[in-house]
Amino acid sequence: MTILRALTWILILGMTAQAYPDGKERVKGSENYISKSSYGASVFIIQPLDGDKFKTEEPIDILFGLKGMGVAPAGVQVDNTGHHHLLIDQAVMPDFDKAIPASAKIIHFGKGQTQTSIKLSPGKHTLQLLLGNHYHIPHDPPLFSKKIEIEVYE
């Protein structure tokens, strides 16, 4: 981790919460870290399609789509850009005022990737994309794809 990135995370994690007039609790100072999304921009999953079925152990190729904005790696601040985060089986969206957490079910593509290949256990799964800025924080307004459902069978 670079010194700049480490200092960035220290600043983000060190911010305190503040109540705003709409009653929503937001991170004080987060307005300095949230990027505006381009008017009319959208993010979407090109492949697979909603309802597609895959055999167990078959790789699932996922192609990310972005319209009206560009892709830039995490840590690189360029207006009207972001990078993808793949949400797998997430019932609730991450907090839009904070950096998108990383886990086995929330995958960051901070190098600017626009596709991936994953394997999932048997059963029904949901996939959704969420665009994050150079700090991994969703844009304002947030750009997320329609949630699709796929099935993995044995």
Domains of the chain in sequence order: 37-153 (2.60.40.10)
pLDDT exceeds cutoff 80 at 50: yes
pLDDT digits (tens, 9 = 90+) for 11-31: 333 333 333 233 334 454 555
What's the pLDDT tens digit per position in 135-149? Answer: 999 999 999 999 999
pLDDT, tens only, 73-130: 999 999 999 999 999 999 999 999 999 999 999 999 999 999 999 999 999 999 999 9
Cβ atoms < 10 Å from Cβ of 141: 11
Q: In this model, does residue 63 exceed pLDDT 80?
A: yes
Q: What is the pLDDT of residue 10?
A: 34
pTM: 0.80
Kindly state the tokens that stand for 129: 């994309």
Using CB atoms within 10 Å of the CB of residue 106, give its burial: 0 to 12 exposed, 13 to 18 middle, 19+ buried. middle
Distance (Å, rounded) from C-alpha 148 to C-alpha 88? 10
Give the per-residue pLDDT at 6: 39
- Residue 119 Cα distances to 16, 62, 123, angstroms: 38, 11, 12
pLDDT of residue 65: 98
Residue 7 CA to residue 126 CA, distance in Å, equals 34
**Helical (H) or strand (E) element with 132:** strand 123-132
